Amino acid sequence: MEKNSSLRLVRRSPWLFHFNSGGCNGCDIEVVASLTPKYDVERLGAILTSSPKHADILVVTGPVTRQTLGSLRMIYDQIPEPKVVLAIGTCACSGGVFRGGYNVIGGVDKVLKNVICIPGCPPNPRMIYSIIKKFYENQLGGADENGSSKPEKE
């Protein structure tokens, strides 16, 4: 199988499952903002599902902590293949302001594969919308050898 082909395999309406792995809730508010009428990712067929078994994309906010690592892995394992992880915010991308804390492991790409990073503290909901739109249009690519990718500039 070609490198990162799972990114291109999300060809249907991308259903999302959201998990806060240890953030301050600022990024969670922007995830919710991307769903509300101004940005409205639901117009792209995306919905927030309450079960990881129905999801295509795992949306993670906050750094990975020792306390949440087990839950994060359990949720990830329940999402059917092919699956992609959206790391929303600088903390999810790298640990952010929490990096170096005694209980902080770091960014999501330290523990999961196929992570697409949307940096910012918090990121603008427009960026979240633009990535979901790329899934919808099946145009996402350019990930590095670790499976991580940065969004294109608008």
Enumerate binding residues for ligand SF4 (CB under 6 A). 23-24, 26-27, 61-62, 89-91, 96-97, 121-122
In terms of DSSP H, where are the helices of the chain? 5-9, 26-35, 69-78, 90-94, 125-137
Closest chain position to ligand SF4 (CB) = 26
- Least CB distance to ligand SF4 at residue 141 (A): 25
Q: How far is CA 92 from CA 30, 63, 96, in A?
A: 14, 5, 7
Contact (Cβ atoms closer than 8 angstroms) between residue 128 and residue 88: yes
Q: Please answer whether residues 62 and 20 qualify as being in contact, where contact means their C-beta atoms are separated by less than 8 angstroms.
A: yes
Tokens encoding 139:
């145009």
Looking at the Cβ atoms of 104 and 112, the one nearer to ligand SF4 is 104
Least distance (Å) between residue 122 CB and ligand SF4 = 4
Give the nearest distance from C-beta 65 to ligand SF4 in angstroms: 12
Collapse the DSSP code of 76 into the 3-class scheme (helix H, G, I; strand E, B; otherwise coil) and give the result: helix
CB of 88 to ligand SF4, least distance (A): 7
In angstroms, rounded to a whole number, what is the distance separating the alpha carbons of residues 38 and 113? 31
Nearer to ligand SF4, 7 or 58 (CB): 58
